[in-house]
Structure 1
């Protein structure tokens, strides 16, 4: 195993959202501006029409964006999926951003997409995660990866195996691969061979690892990583945008492996002698098996 892992954070990254609508866009940009709140309104005035914030519109049958694989972030939201399929217009919001402008620049682009969707009764598709975003009144001013920036989630219940074996190593059905980290210049993460009973614990490991790597997104150029990454309680808390401590024990070490130019594997450290699923069962803080979500801390006014 190499002593280090080398990744390259590009100087600029592109983020793109597409509004799918059945209405004629008309002067949607003007209507969009009235729906924007600070701090995004001022930023849009400075950026709109530049490479840092471009808005373009196409008939759906001539669109450069293929939304056929877009799925709702919330499983029960089949209505939004149907609206994407029936859309007759696509409005794209694209931003080419220096890493120093992340994640705020991506928030500005998504705020514009949400405002456009409100103006034309459309739905927003995040091209990086291939997810249809939940409909909300506007973009939150604070940033948290948990706010639909990371496209990794539990598999559907019907995706679980039916062999009835709930033992620690009963199966290896689940594979997690993140989507969305590349917009911040980071490689995506993958964990495979997870047994169905451990899927939530593995998901929380992926979330925590993604958050741990986020500071590197501010450093363009070649970055040298240790293959051993200590995950702390603060990392999982920051993923959810909360300040409370989520476990009291020390850091949880994980091992990173290079699986490709833009993909890192996540697994147990080499000091653990058992299987991946034994590690997930034996070594993780209990919160990893319990935490489905957190209420974001309010931002002081």
Structure 2
């Protein structure tokens, strides 16, 4: 194996396994093969055929066990990863677990994960139960589990398979991925991320995961599983990578790429995980957090992805009024194709929340009528779990508080509320 300063050799495991659970009261009334067959027409053929083939092979096992024979699942971690009270209650009331396990070689497709999740979803669907993804410690209802599987073209949303949890320490935020090990790749981590980049950096991590996973699987295309795959030390991440990871490749404007340096961070404890750390390129001056902020500014075209305010000051009120007064003109220019080349029109609008509205940006894709704007979200929203970066949204023009025209360097026109925020004229907190 050739070792150079440009590539990092990452070890490849000999095999990979997936485990899914279906909690139920009593024993299953429908056989597993019958349950899978009922998915005809609901599951794309690449996975439907794969699930049936693996079910008939020694690579997959499906067992029903009394729940006491299986180690207890930690309810606090399940809750942290999104479990509802109803799901935890069904788990507590269960007498048996259907355990679906599959094993496969590293590479693409990850047959062990796709087939095991499909079979578990089929079983859960017959008894109105849940699927528990043991790797991710996540509950999935059968419909959600099936939607996460590949479509007829073999495409998936990486966010359905890789989570990005974070925690805080004295140096800022520590981000990790949880899910790349499904595919044999080490998990990613970033340390020292500024607090205000919480959601933006989570999206960057997801985009980086997508880019590195592609490089990883490209290195596993041969008949024999290699001992190592060489990943580039400098990973290139673009807005397109982020959009693809969220399942909306056609709804993201072009952005300049950012570079992230890959470092192997081996675990000193044999029971702990090793990581691939994302760092600024060598020679970058200043703290890492400054580079991460600049990277987010590049990937999100200088627009802060989440802006919340409860009361407008004079400057903000003037900014909103200015933006709204010119909506008709910018719509006309957008529809006539009169915006500068290689630019994108974005609008900021409000989402209702318990603590006041949350204001998010979205890239305009269509504006057929003055009252209704079709767009793609530029960020994840706190207040609405369906609003995720790259996801399609419909915006009422009456909800718009700002608009901006962006190129690769940032705002070139509009963005009045952003200018107020950047100038430090933050609105007063609510009384």
Any idea what SS the aligned residue of 1:122 has? coil
Counterpart secondary structure, 2:18: strand
**Which TM-score applies when normalising by structure 2?**
0.58
Structure 2 CA distance for partners of 1:73 and 1:260, relative to 1, 3 Å: same
The structure 1 segments of at least 4 consecutive aligned residues displaced by more than 6 Å after TM superposition are: none
Q: What residue in structure 2 maps to residue 217 of structure 1? A: 217
Query: How has the CA–CA distance of structure 1 residues 240 and 104 changed in structure 2, closer, same or farther, with 3 Å as cutoff?
Result: farther
Q: Deviations over 1:265-297 (max 9, x none)?
A: 11222242122222222232226844222338x
State the 1:253 CA deviation: 0.2
Change (3 A) 1:245 1:45: closer
Q: Deviations over 1:165-217 (max 9, x none)?
A: xxxxxx64422221111111111111123232111122112101110111213
Match in the other structure for 2:178? 179
Higher Cα Rg: structure 1 or 2? 2
Q: Residue in 2 aligned with 1:189?
A: 188
Using CA pairs under 8 Å that are at least 6 residues apart, name the structure with larger relative contact order, 1 or 2. Answer: 1
Change in CA separation of 1:144 and 1:188 when aligned onto 2, cut-off 3 Å? same
Alignment of 1:37-116 (within 5 A): 37=40, 38-39=44-45, 40-63=47-70, 65-69=71-75, 70-71=77-78, 75=82, 77-116=84-123
- Residues 152, 35 of structure 1: alpha-carbon distance in 2 compared, 3 angstrom cutoff: farther
| Structure 1 residue 97: Cα displacement | 1.2
Q: Distance in 2 between matches of 1:121 and 1:9?
A: 38
Aligned residues: 281
CA separation in 2, counterparts of 1:105 and 1:50?
A: 12
Alignment match, 1:123: 130
Task: Give the Cα–Cα distance (whole angstroms) in 1 for the partners of residues 184 and 168 of structure 2.
Answer: 32
Please give the TM-score of this superposition, normalised by the length of structure 1. Answer: 0.81
2:235 match: 229
Give the one of 267, 286, 295 matched to 2:300.
Answer: 286
In structure 2, the residue matched to 1:12 is 15
Deviation at 1:23, TM superposition (A): 3.6
Contact 2:104 2:110 in 1 (8 A): no
Please provide the CA RMSD for this pair: 2.8
Find the residue that maps to 1:255 and give its secondary structure: strand
Distance 1:212 1:60 in 2: 39
Q: Does residue 273 in structure 1 map to residue 285 in structure 2? A: yes
Q: Which runs of 5+ in 2 are unaligned?
A: 268-273, 306-377, 381-387, 393-431
Q: Which runs of 5+ in 1 are unaligned?
A: 162-170, 297-301
Partner Cα distance (1:145, 1:52) in 2: 25
Does the CA-based 8 Å contact 2:159-2:206 persist in structure 1? no
